[in-house]
Structure 1
Amino acid sequence: MQIASIRTKKVQNAWAMYDWANSVYSLVITSTIFPVYYNSVTKGINDSGIVDFFGFSMINTVLYSYSISFSFLIIALISPILSGIADASGKKLQFMKFFAYLGSLACIGLFFFDGNNLEFGIICSVLASIGYAGSIVFYNAYLPEISDQNEYDHLSAKGFALGYIGSVILLIFNLLMITFPEWFGLSDESFAPRFSFLITGIWWAGFSQIPFKLLPKNLFNKQIKREFLVKGYYEIRKVFNEIKQIKVMSRFLASFFFYSMGVQTVMYLAATFGDKELGLPGDQLIITILIIQIVAIFGSFLFAYVSKKLGNKISLVIMVFIWTGICGAAYYVYTVYEFFALAFVVGLVMGGIQAISRSTFTKLIPKETTDHASYFSFYDVTEKIAIVLGTFSYGFIEQITGNMRNSAVSLGIFFMVGLGFLLLVSIPKKGLEIQNEM
């Protein structure tokens, strides 16, 4: 298959639709309904929040933070191997399908979680997280193959925007079902949130069929060889050595690592903060996340425009600076309107920093390489380890201080370190050539 033949609007739109398909997991399961439902069914004895997990007693929200950390630790350990195999054997699409189906089926499994089977619920949530993160490795690796460099920023932002739009549509439906169960003939209050997990899995698997049908299976006609597993390790080592020699890429990844510790932790635990520290009811928490998602749609394109006019570095510096302020402000938030206002600012920079980070890294991949999945594995592993450390530190600080506000403030340190590395980065307007950057 010729590269030019897949760099069409049809293929690009199909690629972006995977964001539409899987972002419902990120919104419904990780950010809104599941954390609120989880907290409500795991109050523990006398609403103490202490739960028993495989014989270990701990605070329910700390367990949730640790479960997120564990899931991303697993994917951080296996994604370099998987992406190396994918590049060596030309099976990106097959791996993407496997993880997408794993995640969607795990979401469906959460329909059967009622609080009495805590271990089952945590296992399903961990598998869903692994499925989501694993599929993203291979999804991102398609970006430089289906588009030209001058299309990276816009196409990356388009994917995130579609993800926000699709997830908001499903979340609104779920919110109506939870708030007005009588409209849907529901009498069991627990059924509506559990049903939202079921339809999230169906949505994810169903809409994934669009990119699965149109994305190329083996663009560079790589042949599967018996030693492809060893080849996967070789590719990872080769890319690692290349990245060490490319200062602009290694510095960007260092910056990305630290500010992602903050960004991803906020995304995963904002609803838990609102529920536990502010005592906001579930519907207000969901509305808060809706605000974030809707604003994020505009934020993605706003900072794509800023990047076009001022460059990716300036765009990222502005966003990281704003994120630092968000962490400080979170300590002083006590009312629902203050939480709404903070959510608006979070949404403004959340979509932008994800989209521009992805497109910036894409620009830094040497033009000569065809091992895009291996390069993106480093990008994704960096993000996953950041999530592991960010969510773990968030839960650990809450555990030792008894106050989640201290956890929120600590995230500001990660952003400041990320900003320091970012200021050292000189992002080229054109793609890198290995021989010029070694």
Structure 2
Amino acid sequence: FLLAYWFYIDGVDTIIKMAVDYGMSIGFESNDLIVALLIVQFVGFPAALIFGRLGERWGVRSSIFLAIGVYIVVTIWATMMREKYEFYVLAVAIGLVQGGIQALSRSYYSRLIPKNQAAEYYGFFNMLGKFAAIIGPALMGVVGLTMRNMLMPDSPSAEQIKAVGQEASRWSIASIVILFVIGAVLLFYVDDEKGRAEAEYLFKN
């Protein structure tokens, strides 16, 4: 589970940290981006509570899959957006799942660890969270530079340089989908029953 968590939470944190840079690279104004960030924060708190209820009703694991799915859709949409209102819609979508995926991941992890060693296990969990947003920015950088070099014509005009830069940025943000897909696949193969059984065994012994 921790490996799955590391991949998809890296994608989550990359989206959070790179959203402003990406928005500016495709031509949005800084004021628009600030408003979008405020929307994420405003929507995030109540949405996290709602997601908690959703986890109780649908199951924590299923709700995490839902959140990952939303992030995949948001990331793909971000590669195609042209209008300001789309950025705001994406901000709302991110706000709806950002707090939820973090809280549900922690809740799911609590089922897989022995209660008498929770502090040690959560220390490792939190450490992975701190090391998130490492693969994502690096992946974006590599993909962005690669696409820029591939798309840039010989002796480009100023307009061509701008257009290629924006297109390369769109490809770079699209690459984050890989992290969500890997995280979802790894999560799919997590054996809940085995994890709970091992946690119970360690707790009793």
CA distance, structure 1, for counterparts of residue 25 and residue 7 of structure 2: 26
Q: Is the 8 A contact 2:114 2:203 kept in 1?
A: no
Q: Counterpart amino acid of 1:423? A: F
CA distance, structure 2, for counterparts of residue 435 and residue 413 of structure 1: 35
Alignment of 1:376 with 2:122, yes or no, is yes
Alignment of 1:274 with 2:28, yes or no, is no
CA distance, structure 1, for counterparts of residue 67 and residue 203 of structure 2: 30
Alignment of 1:309 with 2:57, yes or no, is yes
CA distance, structure 2, for counterparts of residue 376 and residue 435 of structure 1: 15
Equivalent in the alignment of 1:415? 180
Higher relative contact order (CA 8 A, sep 6+): 2
CA distance, structure 2, for counterparts of residue 350 and residue 263 of structure 1: 7
Q: Please list every run of 5 or more consecutive structure 1 residues that lacks an aligned counterpart in the other structure.
A: 1-251
Aligned pairs for 1:11-26 (under 5 A) are none
CA distance, structure 2, for counterparts of residue 347 and residue 295 of structure 1: 5
Larger radius of gyration: 1
CA distance, structure 1, for counterparts of residue 101 and residue 94 of structure 2: 10
DSSP 3-state at the match of 1:368? helix
CA distance, structure 1, for counterparts of residue 58 and residue 111 of structure 2: 16
Tell me how far 1:377 sits from its aligned partner: 3.1
CA distance, structure 2, for counterparts of residue 406 and residue 286 of structure 1: 23
Q: Is the 8 A contact 1:274 1:280 kept in 2?
A: yes
Deviations 1:4-38 (A, max 9, x none): xxxxxxxxxxxxxxxxxxxxxxxxxxxxxxxxxxx
Tell me how far 1:273 sits from its aligned partner: 0.9
Equivalent in the alignment of 1:353? 101
Tell me how far 1:311 sits from its aligned partner: 1.7
Equivalent in the alignment of 1:433? 200
Tell me how far 1:426 sits from its aligned partner: 4.2
Q: Counterpart amino acid of 1:379? A: F
Deviations 1:126-173 (A, max 9, x none): xxxxxxxxxxxxxxxxxxxxxxxxxxxxxxxxxxxxxxxxxxxxxxxx
Assess, with a 3 A threshold, how the Cα gap between structure 1 residues 399 and 384 changes in structure 2: closer, same or farther.
farther
DSSP 3-state at the match of 2:81? coil
Aligned pairs for 1:158-237 (under 5 A) are none
Tell me how far 1:305 sits from its aligned partner: 0.3
Assess, with a 3 A threshold, how the Cα gap between structure 1 residues 276 and 308 changes in structure 2: closer, same or farther.
same
Q: May I ask how many residue pairs the two structures share in their alignment?
A: 184
Q: Counterpart amino acid of 1:256? A: Y
Tell me how far 1:381 sits from its aligned partner: 3.1
DSSP 3-state at the match of 2:116? coil
RMSD of aligned residue pairs (Cα, Å) = 2.4
Q: Is the 8 A contact 2:13 2:133 kept in 1?
A: yes
Equivalent in the alignment of 1:39? none
Q: Counterpart amino acid of 1:264? A: D
TM-score (ref. length: structure 2): 0.80
Equivalent in the alignment of 1:289? 37
Q: Counterpart amino acid of 1:381? A: M
Aligned pairs for 1:9-408 (under 5 A) are 252-277=1-26, 279-369=27-117, 372=119, 374-402=120-148, 403-408=168-173
TM-score (ref. length: structure 1): 0.39
CA distance, structure 2, for counterparts of residue 437 and residue 357 of structure 1: 24
CA distance, structure 1, for counterparts of residue 189 and residue 47 of structure 2: 25
Q: Is the 8 A contact 2:115 2:203 kept in 1?
A: no
Assess, with a 3 A threshold, how the Cα gap between structure 1 residues 437 and 383 changes in structure 2: closer, same or farther.
farther
Q: Please list every run of 5 or more consecutive structure 2 residues that lacks an aligned counterpart in the other structure.
A: 149-167
